[in-house]
Amino acid sequence: MADLVLNVQDIGEAGKSYDFPLTREWLASALSDTGLSHTEVSLAPDADEGHLSLHAHKQGDDVIVTGKLRAALVTPCARCLEPAPVPVDAEVVNLFTARGAALRPEPDELDLTPEDLDREFYAGDRIVLDDIVREYLLLEVPIQPVCQPGCEGIPVPAAVAGPKDLRAEAKVDGVDPRLAPLLSLVGKVPTEE
């Protein structure tokens, strides 16, 4: 069931404004099958529902949609697995072009021009925005979300930490300890003068 629908017949030359609430149910449905098997994206538990405000106007058969998408999402931190907030405040800009009444069958491989990549297509009198808004939401989720900028991650138990954690080793005189043996060569190797 499409919840975010624009009726093209209602949009005049001056345009029309729309306000859609992004309810918990809609967000749960839209984000349930994200394909991100390592993470789960959802609306923050203490957040209000998201909001989509749009303005649509027509130019011939084309419909230009601009607006703002706001939501407070949460996903597990990539370092410590604690909830990481993901505030979404995205600009929405799309150009929709009518496909026409007679749709011809699409071949197995369809060649797209650069102009086609900047357009979305609609058939009939309805523009369904659900999948497009879902894409905008997913594009706002970082690849490696962190709960806070200095997150150290999950502490490594001593039994599995290995001989020494090289990150914790201090540098000797500003030199990485792994490169310290090379300091003995300084002065012994002739330099070109």
**Closest among 103, 37, 28, 38 to 71, alpha carbons compared:** 28
Q: Are residues 67 and 54 in contact, defined by beta-carbon separation less than 8 angstroms?
A: yes
Q: pLDDT band at residue 73, thresholds of 50, 70 and 90?
A: confident
What is the per-residue pLDDT across 54-68, written as a single tens digit (0 to 9) for each? 999 998 888 999 999
Mean of per-residue pLDDT scores for the chain: 81
Q: Which H or E run contains 140? A: helix 130-140
pLDDT of residue 27: 83
Query: At 26, phi and psi to the nearest 5?
Result: -65, -45
pLDDT of residue 14: 86
pLDDT of residue 37: 39
Task: Kindly report the pTM of this predicted structure.
Answer: 0.69
Cβ-based neighbour number of residue 50 at 10 Å: 23
Q: Are residues 99 and 123 in contact, defined by beta-carbon separation less than 8 angstroms?
A: yes
Examine the pLDDT at 102 and tell me if it is beyond 50. Answer: no
pLDDT of residue 101: 45
* Section 94-109 average pLDDT: 68
User: DSSP label at 178?
Assistant: G
Examine the pLDDT at 171 and tell me if it is beyond 60. Answer: no
Return the residue matching tokens 């394909």: 35
What is the per-residue pLDDT across 124-162, written as a single tens digit (0 to 9) for each? 889 999 999 999 988 988 888 999 988 988 887 777 766
* Section 179-186 average pLDDT: 82
Examine the pLDDT at 186 and tell me if it is beyond 60. Answer: yes
* Section 177-192 average pLDDT: 80
